[in-house]
Structure 1
Amino acid sequence: MVELRRELGRRLAACRKAAGMSQASVAEKVFVDRTRLAHLENGRGQADEEFWRSVDAVLGAGGLLVRADLEFRAAKRVRERQWREAELAAVAEEMDGWRANGLLGVLAVNNGVASSAVEWVDQHGGLAPGTSRRRVAEWLRDGSRARLSVEVGARSRVGRSRIAEELGKFYGLADGGYRPFGAFVGDVEVPTSVAVRNDWVGVSLPLDAEHDQVRLVNAPRQGVELRGRGLDHALRRVAESEIGSVRLTDQPLYRLLSLDLVDGVIRGEVGMGSFLEYALTVDLLESELVDAIAAGRPVRADALPLRSRYLPDWAAVTDVGERLTAGGVLSLFAVARPADPFRGPADFAVLVQQRSPHVVNGSGRLAVVPKGFHGPLTDYRADARISATLLRELEEELFGRGDVDSTRDQQRAAVPMHPSRLSEPMRWLLDGQRMRMECTGFGLNLVSGNYEFACLTVVEDEEFWARFGGAVEANWEATGLRVYSTLDREFVAELMRDESWSNEGLFAFLLGLRRLGEIGGKRVDLPSIRWTTASGR
């Protein structure tokens, strides 16, 4: 594949030279950076089909470069298929060894967590009690376990831009002022699948009682009915959860009914929903889509039955009150640091996580931290505020408060976030009002229809890093934590362009950095960021 990419680059360079044009002049005409064009000619980096059509036309190549790109993509698909088949054979051989040695014994579907999932599928799929448990157990005892392991692992290798591109083709142009959010970092476009309106981004709304006015209302819903492919995919999700130790719990969460960002106030209504209903219905749209992309299958309505049922068009995406619209809160966490003789001048440290394989969505992808579903702990009405979820997630994901993790056992404390129970870092931050929390944007994610509140959490007192920097530690939802400086333009720019971001994670990251640039003064020196518009620039 390396040699094929180099050959494609050589053809590009040959066509450019034959046309008598410089790299700079070609780059200007096809709207890319000259350095990026040079990398492509040297066989480094990737470009989409639109680039190859444009550069072919600019150089008068008569379709030569378009055909070369198509040949490269076809060869890449063949190579990836061969790799998947080889990996599948290796996993199957390993499973045969486990089976021969009697290591495939009691399955985790017998424990309480998975039991709630299979019981839910029985109930809503119209099955006799125990049917789902038997089907999942049978599935995991044969070769399907190995195949599922390979397919789940392949999902994280499908890039964010490709997901956004395929969803853009599926839904087409939006109306009513909606558009997919994206940006140009320098001359490189970084698209996402998060749909926004102009009044939903570029905001800076303090998450206090005056501005955070999301409230809970009583809004009963019709019962859920699993049928056909929906039932099959729900059972598959339970099996995948068994393989990857993903936590499926029947916990309450908030479902969005309405939202307005008017006059600097977040006004919205939420009702109650079930996490299991979300995980075993609309959240399956992500795996259905990414599996199709990874396997080279067409991304269209007849090939995506779940998407065609739950989220078929823009009307369904935007009519949040008529569907299960779950979602949550993501926040870029930034901490002021003093000058350091090794690191350099005073800056902000910003945190980025890689999601663990045990989470329901965004597994293996980059995200801001914290990132959590909007749901209650014990006080369903008071916890409906966006700030309530953000504070809880800070405690859980950064400061080690496992007792506020909603995926674990039932909550025993009446007021889990009472000041007397807070972690020492959180108590210090709240006692002196040393933390700024703002909503920087809102969007609807085309991947599963989720609502996404992008936020920024800033600690401007340098003392926090000195006192509590060692106490900041990601929980089980992350496989690792990265720290970036707001003065490191090169690495931050590279991070923004990273294809392993989740779409919602990049959405919150870009909006948070924009706001941090406005308030951070000399601590912040970031690459140029320009939002894309409905026309693409």
Structure 2
Amino acid sequence: MSQHEGWTGRTASALQAAMRLTNEAFAEHLGIAVRTVAGWHQKPDLKPKSEMQQLLDTAHNQADAAVKARFDALTAEPKLDLPDGAAADAELRLSSDPNIVAALDWLDQHAGWEPGTARRDVAARLVRLDVRALQDRGVRRGRVNQRDTARALAEYYGATTTGHGRYAARFSSTTRASTTVFTHPDWLDLDCPLMPAHDRLKLSTVTPNDHQTMDEASAGHAAQRLAEALALGNRVVNMPLYRLLDVGVRKHALAGSVGVANFVGYVVTMDLLEGELVDALTTDRPIRPGALPLRDAYLPDLPSVLDVSDRMCAGGALALTAIARPADPFRGEADYLLLVQERSGHVINAARRLAVIPKGFHQPLTDYRADAQIGATLRREMEEELFGRDDIDNTVGDQRHADPMHPTRLSEPMRWLLAEPGRLRMECTGFGLNLVSGNFEFASLIVIEDEQFWTEFGGQVRANWEAANLRQFSSLDTDSLEELTNDVAWSNEGLFALLQGLRRLQQIGGNRVNLPTIEWETE
């Protein structure tokens, strides 16, 4: 590297981003402490000592041409002149956050831009952003409820003649819910145990190449999304994500195949559809083909929804959790505790909405083939979202354990649940494709059958950063549960999982459950 002023924290971080290495991997590559690398991110104007300068010189000189080209693009642009303190963090992330750099590279490649074009575009948009206006827009978006989106997408897509339809259910004579989850009678009431004999989603040996191209308008929307994420401090992590290629769902069995994609590709394409829809609703724009350009491009009709192999179809697993509790002199008879979360404003998916818990993207940890099972994601999400294990949260840190779900690493509550058969019951209750972003949704039910669990570990059940708060309900409190199903704050997939979970719990819960019959239909 030939620059008279030498290396700074900013340019060292830019080299790390160009090499696409985490803090730990970059420190290992240079042979230095991780805290030194972290210090460069925190103090971009810091000038490393002479021995560090030499290490960085060597790393740059030995890098291949592609790394050097990315480094030149990252360091060629002047610093952003943004108006407030949050902007300094945005500037640093734009230059040195490996996840943001990966998203910029993805955008350059798929938009057909020269390297560095996406960064310049996003930087220019950052300068023009009004953070208060974005926050006001967030408030307006929050006023669009689950029923609004269900009605709007019913209008956009119309009816189908394939036997599929939008999931709806009646909880009682007075409560009926319609959702955006596109499903089929054969995909519901699966009663499918999430164990290898029944949970047979497989990793494909060949994942189709990502040939998705973007026109200038779509690329502009993607760049705007990245600028807004930087301005608002949203987390963007380029984690591997399972992409659905084929699905074969039937009673007692999950089958099909998945490939692996990058999360940043989802963030700047399919995940934009919800924001476009909600913004149209807040401004009274028409909801019809031709009026929503991103939806028209990525998910224009119901055949494209069902054609999962020819598009980016990411998604996840979510479960209603029911924990057996003993009778209590204050609470009453033995029941199941049912948990519901209000999602944090910092999550990518279903922000500020009600959802069942756990809820997570279907993605691998370290064993890409074994982790393709839906049960693998739900067990991981239980550890992360219910039992407080942040070492398996790949939005917080890198995964460096060979087997993060090894019995010796499990939390105490999870270890207890898995110690004896019959303590933990996990079933898939339904499958559907969410019209909001085209995501696949595996609705499930987790039942902790042994009431001793609540006595010993109930005080350790807590949500992670993805939830703003937790709410609890009793399986015997019919009135509260009816009010809950009627709440317009639900995410569509969350309501789908809740209703299917309650329907199954009514069948297997015995005297711990007092619910009216829940009948589903497809619209």
| Coarse TM-score class (shorter-chain normalised) | 0.7 to 0.9
Structure 1 equivalent of residue 479 of structure 2 = 490
1:264 alignment partner, one of 220, 228, 252: 252
How far 1:124 moved relative to its partner?
2.4
Structure 1, 398-407 or 239-248: larger mean CA deviation: 239-248
How far 1:104 moved relative to its partner?
4.3
How far 1:529 moved relative to its partner?
2.3
- How many residues align structurally? 437
Structure 2 equivalent of residue 277 of structure 1 = 265
1:443 alignment partner, one of 432, 456, 468: 432
| Residues 372-419 of structure 1: per-residue CA shift (max 9 Å, x gap) | 011101111111111111111111111111111132333101111111
Using structure 1 for the length normalisation, give the TM-score. Answer: 0.78
* In structure 1, distance between residues paired with 2:249 and 2:211: 31
Q: Is the 8 A contact 2:86 2:231 kept in 1?
A: no
Please, which runs of 5 or more residues in structure 1 have no aligned partner?
1-97
Q: Does 1:190 align with 2:177?
A: yes
For 1:166, the aligned partner's letter is: A
How far 1:164 moved relative to its partner?
0.5
Equivalent residue of 2:265, what SS?
Answer: helix
How far 1:106 moved relative to its partner?
4.6
Q: Does 1:414 align with 2:402?
A: yes
Please, which runs of 5 or more residues in structure 2 have no aligned partner?
1-80
* In structure 2, distance between residues paired with 1:188 and 1:162: 16
Structure 1 equivalent of residue 47 of structure 2 = none
Q: Does 1:145 align with 2:134?
A: no
Equivalent residue of 1:328, what SS?
Answer: strand
Q: Structure 1's 302 and 461: CA in aligned 2 closer, same or farther, altered over 3 A? A: same
Structure 1 equivalent of residue 95 of structure 2 = 110
Structure 2 equivalent of residue 465 of structure 1 = 454
Q: Structure 1's 307 and 344: CA in aligned 2 closer, same or farther, altered over 3 A? A: same
Map 1:295-314 onto structure 2 (within 5 A).
295-314=283-302
| Residues 483-518 of structure 1: per-residue CA shift (max 9 Å, x gap) | 111111111111101101000000000000111111
For 2:234, the aligned partner's letter is: V
Q: Structure 1's 445 and 103: CA in aligned 2 closer, same or farther, altered over 3 A? A: closer
Q: Structure 1's 444 and 101: CA in aligned 2 closer, same or farther, altered over 3 A? A: closer
Q: Structure 1's 110 and 481: CA in aligned 2 closer, same or farther, altered over 3 A? A: farther
Q: Is the 8 A contact 2:164 2:522 kept in 1?
A: no
* In structure 2, distance between residues paired with 1:386 and 1:106: 36
Structure 2 equivalent of residue 128 of structure 1 = 114
* In structure 2, distance between residues paired with 1:193 and 1:106: 37
* In structure 2, distance between residues paired with 1:101 and 1:515: 52
Q: Is the 8 A contact 2:87 2:231 kept in 1?
A: no
* In structure 1, distance between residues paired with 2:134 and 2:118: 17
Q: Is the 8 A contact 1:334 1:350 kept in 2?
A: yes
For 2:166, the aligned partner's letter is: P
Structure 2 equivalent of residue 322 of structure 1 = 310
* In structure 2, distance between residues paired with 1:265 and 1:106: 47
1:456 alignment partner, one of 433, 439, 445: 445
Equivalent residue of 1:140, what SS?
Answer: helix
Using structure 2 for the length normalisation, give the TM-score. Answer: 0.80
Q: Structure 1's 520 and 110: CA in aligned 2 closer, same or farther, altered over 3 A? A: same
| Residue identity (%) | 51
Q: Structure 1's 423 and 297: CA in aligned 2 closer, same or farther, altered over 3 A? A: same
* In structure 2, distance between residues paired with 1:139 and 1:116: 18
| Residues 42-78 of structure 1: per-residue CA shift (max 9 Å, x gap) | xxxxxxxxxxxxxxxxxxxxxxxxxxxxxxxxxxxxx
How far 1:533 moved relative to its partner?
4.0
Equivalent residue of 2:429, what SS?
Answer: strand
Q: Is the 8 A contact 1:244 1:357 kept in 2?
A: no
* In structure 2, distance between residues paired with 1:149 and 1:478: 19
2:415 alignment partner, one of 408, 427, 432: 427
